[in-house]
């Protein structure tokens, strides 16, 4: 097994979950997942093994999503073609929210956030990257990451409270 194949075996599940969280549907997530691995393979000779492969891989994914997201990914949002697809998506959601309706409410609210906030929340809370790692991935200062996290949490809280009043 080559080094690249070992990385695929180790990080495919995490990357798949991350793509689903970013895109919100299986088809677009599969496209982003495949495009990320294709780009990683094409540039694998440039990877520095002294650095975290996971951070390098997720940076590729984030950059693909940010640079082509409006045109290629996110063609539909949270539209499930089958019960199986819905269950597959729900299994990628953080385990803290036990109630399916709460999980969907959280992700619907997250979907309404501007991309810059959605990205930092997803990377920080759902993928457990540090502020420094996120700053490197997004090419922004660490203080900007902290600021976006702060504003994103406030905005998400407000959206969730508004959602609860609509029921």
pLDDT at position 78 over 90: no
Hey, what long-range contacts does 161-164 have (CB within 8 A, 24 or more apart)?
Answer: 163/105, 163/108, 163/109, 164/105
Q: Which residue has the higher pLDDT, 57 or 24?
A: 57
pLDDT at position 40 over 90: yes
What is the average per-residue pLDDT within 39-49?
92
Domains of the chain as residue ranges with CATH: 1-92 (1.10.1740.10), 96-167 (1.10.10.10)
Q: What is the pLDDT of residue 73?
A: 56
Q: Has this prediction a pTM greater than 0.75?
A: no
Q: What CA–CA distance (Å, rounded) separates 115 from 133? A: 18
Q: What is the pLDDT of residue 98?
A: 52
CA 29 to chain centre: 10
Return the percent helix, strand and coil in the chain, to nearest 5. 75, 0, 25
């Amino acid at each position: 097994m080559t080094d690249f194949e070992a990385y695929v075996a180790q990080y495919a599940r995490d990357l798949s979950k991350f793509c689903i969280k970013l895109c919100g549907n299986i088809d677009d997530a599969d496209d982003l997942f495949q495009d990320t691995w294709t780009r990683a393979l094409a540039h694998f000779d440039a990877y520095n093994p002294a650095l975290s492969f996971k951070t390098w891989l997720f940076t590729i994914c984030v950059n693909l999503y940010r640079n082509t997201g409006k045109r290629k990914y996110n063609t539909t949002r949270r539209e499930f073609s089958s019960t199986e697809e819905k269950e597959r998506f729900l299994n990628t959601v953080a385990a803290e929210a036990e109630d399916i309706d709460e999980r969907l409410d959280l992700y619907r609210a997250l979907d309404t956030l501007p991309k810059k906030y959605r990205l930092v929340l997803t990377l920080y809370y759902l993928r457990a990257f540090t502020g420094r790692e996120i700053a490197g991935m997004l090419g922004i200062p660490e203080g900007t990451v902290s600021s976006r996290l702060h504003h994103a949490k406030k905005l998400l809280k407000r959206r969730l409270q508004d959602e609860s009043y609509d029921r």
